[in-house]
Each structure stands twice: as structure tokens, then as C-alpha cells.
Structure 1
Amino acid sequence: MAIFKFLFYSILGIIAFLAPVTIGGESSILMGHIKSIVIDGYSESIKYLIVFVSIITIIGTVIGKVKKQFKNPILQELFICGPINGIVRLGGCLFFLMVHFNIGPKAILDPNTGGMMANDLLPSLMVTFCVGVILMPLLTSFGLVEFVGVLIAPFMRKVFKVPGYAAVDAIASFLGDGTIGIVVTDQQYQKGYYTQREAVVIATSFSIVGISFAAVVADFLKFSSIFIIFYSTIAISTVVAGVIIERLPLKKFKDEYYVTGKVEEKDIVSFSLALRKAAAVAEKTKELEIMIDSVKKVAVLYITFIPVIMFMGTTGLIVAEYTNIFGIISMPLIPILELLGFSKSVATSMAPSMIVGFSDMYLPSLLIESVKSDMARFVIGTLSFAQLIFLSETGMILVASKIGFTFWDALKFFILRTIITFPVIYGIARILLSMGILQN
């Protein structure tokens, strides 16, 4: 019975998160279809939900500052936070309410800044978090993590120095969404599957942006005909970054577990052992408890993540849209790009595109889209994915997680991943140029 329970829920999880399904001529994972249906049909209702969440967050956070402590552990987790986090939360809520009611400074209401965050990104994240967190236990709580972990542990340990469980996080990101991969990693860290250091490596190296969004960007940059090459370049550079980052000191992040009881993992490839461990976990898991816990996690994500993402994303986009800071900071990159064979005009467009992705992953593609050089568009398009860390989404989700990330950590990892992945991507682009696939 335990084995049947493991197989039943795990297969449902695989179908929901990992198996492409074609509906209405569009191929995506089931969770992606659910997300699209909800957003297309109930976008206004979702915005009203965000208004409600924003008001509750403001009231709860203010009361929390006055009371200092709640007796109820759920209220404690939702509304007690540090001063900086509190300011950011309140700011994010106010930003959203300003955009929703069209009241406030133009810089915040602009469709390219706060307007994009409030009307496009936040509704999508609300649905992604809700559907993702409620369905995620199908992948993580009924034995699939243990099953896959046992089978793939030696490879993951040897190549990336992380547990085999990380494979589930990586696949969920690859076929689903990078934010889901980070949320999974955070939850697995809190359960004792990873040390803090392992969680950092997994979250910053395996949470690759989903293949469906990569296809959208590839089409926007006119690379649909070579999408396999486009996404393979992202995957190769990400693997290289993962191998290198794991071997760096990362002294701040300790080889310590979030909980006292770590989840043991033996590097023995045995199908029978994998099945036994999976069945044991499935047998102990209670569906009702998992559902209640998932609803609580959705509430925590809505109140602690969404306002932070709104505030930091809007702020970053305002800086990118209304100032020339990114252009000034990127000026030293122009002569380097010229040395690499790009013309001065192309290099001038590429330089800010290489760093503006820290605000939002879509911005580099917007800046480079009109450049005629195939090679420049290819390099920037793939690099924007390989950089992985951006404030409007993944960066702030990492900061809001229990892993121990700060804003400065997010910036450091963005720079680190840029330094590591750019040479790999440039090298592949040169090969494609020599083959006549790309033009410079």
C-alpha cells in the first residue's frame, strides 16, 4: 500500500510539474496550463486579492511593530520582521496600491516600472506560488525526492558536491519555473535535506529559468529557428557555473543544517533501497496535514515575499528606466567588448544589457532587441538567463527565504555568475559564428 501511495502521488507530481502536455495547441507543463487559465480568466480577481493581501500586510506589520510579539506562531511568522524588512514590505504594499488605484508619482505608475510589476509580474507570481506550493508536496512529500536522491546521489556528489535530492529541484526549474526551484530548495533546506552551503549552491546554480519562458525570449530575439542551440547554451553555461561555484570558499554559508535532524543520504545506487526509502516516507505522510501546511505556506509567501518583490523590482526598474546609472557603471565593459570583436555601437548597446539584468531578467532582451548583430543578441539573450539572479523575482525570493541570503549576497552572485558564464557563452557564440549560424 505504501509503494502504491508513493507511485500514485509521485506520478501525479511528475505530470503536474515535469511532463509537457499540449492543450489548445500549446505545449507546457500542467502547472503552466493551470497558471495560464487562471491568469487569463481571473486576472482582475487576482489583483483584488493582492489589494486584500497588501492591506492585511500593512495592518499586520504595523500591529507587529507595536506588539513586538504574537502568541500565535502563525501570526508571529507572518507579521514579525526586522526594521529593514518591515520598511520594504510596507513600501511594496504601498507601491502596489498606488498603481492599482492610479495614485502617486509617475515613476512608480509607469507601465515599464511599477505598472509592469503590479499588472504583469505579481498576478503571475500569485498564481505560481499558490498552484506551485499546493501541488509541490506531490514531488517532495511522498517519497519521490528520496527515490531520485538515492539513484542519482553519486553523480550529484561527484560533479556538484550536493545531495541527489537536488535533481528534483533542478528538473522542477528546468520544466517549470526558476522561482519554484528556489522555493523547493528553501523548503528542503528547512526540512534538513541540505546544509546552508548546499542550499545556496543549489538555489544559485540549479534554479534555471523554465524552458517555456526561454522560448518566449528566443522568439523575441529572433532565435526560434535555433532554440535548441539557444537553450543548450544556457544549460551548458549553468552547469559550468554550478561546478565552479560549488568549489569556491563561500565562507559565509556554513555546512550546517537548519534543523537538528538531518536527512541521511547514502551514496549507494540501489533501486530496491530507493523504493524502500520512498515507501517509508509515503507511509508516514498524511494528506490532510500536507494540505493545511501548504495553505499556511501560501499565506507566508503572499505576505512575506510578494511585497518585497514589488518594492525591490519597482525600485530597480525605476533606476533602469529613469537614470543612466547602468550605462555609467557599464562603461568599462565597452572597450573589453570591442577587443572581443564587437563594433563600438554594438558594444555600447551590449554593455548596459550585461548588468541591467540584475533589476529584471527581461530588460537585457528589451535593450538589445533592435541591435542587428545576431551574435550580440545571442550572447545577451543567453547571458540574461545564465545570470539567474534578478531583483524583480529570483533575487528577492532568495533574500526572503530562510537560506540566509542578503541583498548584497544576491548582487555578489549575480556578478559571479556573469563572470563565469560570459566566457562560456561567448565561446559558443564564436563557434556558431564560424559555422555561419550567427552573424556579427
Structure 2
Amino acid sequence: MKDLEYHLEQTVKKADVETGGSLNQQLDERRVKAVPRALTPGLPGYVVDADGGVLVDADGNSYIDFASGIAVTSVGASNPAVVAAVQESAAHFTHTCFMVSPYESYVAVAEKLNALTPGDHEKKTVLLNSGAEAVENAVKIARAYTKKDAVVVFDNSYHGRTNLTMAMTAKNTPYKTGFGPFATEVYRAPMSYPLRDGLTGEAAAARTIHMIEKEVGAENLACVVIEPIQGEGGFIVPAEGFLPAIAAWCKDNGVVFVADEIQAGLARTGKWWAVDHESVVPDLVTIAKGIAGGMPLSAVTGRAEIMDAPVVGGLGGTYGGNPVACAAAVAALGQMEELDLPGRAQEIEKIVREELEPLLELPEVAEIRGHGAMIGLEFVDADGKPNAALTKAAAKACMDAGVLILTCGMDYNVIRLLPPLVIPEATLREGLRILAAAIRDNA
């Protein structure tokens, strides 16, 4: 894998800090007093610099980053092209609401997403701030177009933390507990989960469609919203044939098919979009995370006739498509193309599998799954039940050794790998070997 240019040394470093002299400790004491306990970071260090595949904290410790800010910094956390675009844009103006006084960069991002998303039909794009906001607006658009109310989502799904998206999200703790009541007309269908259900894609889809037809009814259903690879739910890749069958049913029944590509999209899985692995063409695509190199931006892109359904003034928001974020997105999308990040994600997957697939000899490692730089490892105990204890212990051991690891899954038993797509090969292998050792030591 070709190395790129980096301004930080791309390896783990442990700083020698005298007792009582830790800036991280001082910052954490300030956080405890100033920030709600609901926001408790996983990393013990406070980041002051980041580049390529590493994060550097206030004490000078350097961590290998297998999180990418939850799949955000795909082009790197300080990509020079993104930084230059932000600086140039901010020097002219930092904000002027597009609904009131428009600007070119919003249009440029919309044009690019219209061209990049699956299908050769006419498309349009609305820009927003967060992934949850994109999902909410996709539902609004689908309801306006179909004049129907119901929304179908799936077991293990994650779509956000707003009221509607909490209703759409499956996992209770920590996302939903204590925050109800939630939005109505949201129905949960069974998801294809090959490791656990053993079904083919076609059989799993038939089960799902039967539930939708009998419990919801196509005549009441505005949209089906699905993550092509589920994120927080456990990096679950549905069996081949599942997504095409659901999309075909939606088309035949006048239901809007929404692909939530917020975590899996934009080169992360080795293709531009996770649905591309099975040539599925969604009606609407929700996009966020990696779109703007770390600046807050999201989008809904879809068929022009569907996108035009809401009344004039029905879509938008004060900060949606902020000009600085749009400039960053133009640069980030350009970097994805120039650096061939879909191809680079494929190279990352090969290295991940080379380093980690020997772990499949351990009975505790039930599966290594995913595409590109979106790979999950699911752990079980001696009885084949979810092994949250091993997952937590391995993640902590990695953190102690200088590798930032995220976990996920409804049962808290999946480690997820989301390295920046610009990570150097040597750094990637160093982090993977630390992870492998942590799993073996705690199995």
C-alpha cells in the first residue's frame, strides 16, 4: 500500500510524564466539572494533533487511530487539501444561510453527490448538518412524496439520537433509555444476520417482506430505511441477495427505498457506496461522516421527482450546507478520487484479513466480517453466546498499548475497525498486531 505524506510520525509513542504534571489529567478534571457525565470520552488523552493514522494527546502520547472519529476522517484528520479549502472559504465568509443568500459551494457539493451516488437517473441533493438530520429529512421527503406515514427500519439498526431517529434506532442503552416517548409510525423488521440466522439473502428477505405486508401494509408505508452494512448494530453484512430483494419489493409497491450510507458510504467499504457491492440503486441516500473531512455536513441525495415533493421552504435549516463545510466537502471528495480511496480501502481489507484471520482458530472469534476498511470481529464464549467481557478487555488492552479501538453490537460483543483510509501500511499492521495480541491474551 503506497505511503502518503504525513507531518506526524506514524507509530505508537508513550510520553514520560511526571506525576502531577499530566495535561490530560488537568483537562479531564476540567471536563468533569464542565461537561455532563453522559459525555464521557473513551480515550484518556485529549487530542492536540492528528494526521494519517495517528492521534497525539496533550501529554505527547501518540495513538494509532482505528476509529477515524467514527468513520469521519477518511481522508485524514488534517488533510492539507481540506485545511486549505477551509482556510480559503473562512477568509471570505463563515456563514450566510443558503435559504436566504446562496453561494456556489453548496451547489458544487450537490452536483458532485448527484454524480457520485448510484444510478443514472436525474437526482437532487439537500445539505444538512448531521447524520440524524439527514435521516429525518429522508423520512420527511418520502412522506411528502408518497402521502403515506409508516417507516420500516430493522433489527440492530442505528439511525441517530434525535426523537424520530431514536425511534428508528434499535439499541436502548445508551441511546434511548430515559428519553421517551418516541415518534410513532416506526416499525421494526427482521434483518439478515447470517452468523445468527443461517438464512440465505432470499430467505431472509422473504421473512422481512412477509412481516412488512402483514404488520404494516405497503399501502401505509412511506419508506424502508436500511444501513447496507449495519454500524452500531454490529457491522452486520446482510446475506447476498437480501438488499436487492428488499429494494425490488419497494419498487414494485410504491415504497421509497432509503439507503443509510452515513457510516458505510464514501469509499469506506472499498466502493463508493456499500450498496454498490450488489448493484442496488436506492431512491434516496443519506450521507454524512466522511463527506467533509471532519467538518459538520450531511446530505440526502435522491431521485429528482422524490426530492422535489416537499413544498417550497419545506427543507433546510440555518446551518445546513454551511459554506466552510461545503468547501471542505469539495476538497474531501476530490481527495477521495485523487487518492483512489475506494481502492485503498480494498488494500486495507486485504491487510486486515491477512493479520487477523489467523484469530479464527480461537473458538472465541465467531466471525470476521465486512468490506474494505469497515471490518468487525464478533466474539462468543464457550457456549457460543455473545462475549462482551472479551470484547471490552481486548479494547482496553489495545487502548493501554496505544491503539484506539471502538466496539459495537446489540450485545456489546463486536470490535469494529474504522481506520482512516490514508493510514500507512506499517501503522496499520502495527495496530492490527497489537489488537491480535490483545485478543489472544484475553481469550
Q: Which has the higher strand share?
A: 2
For the aligned pair, the TM-score class normalised by the smaller chain equals: under 0.3
Q: Which has the higher helix share?
A: 1
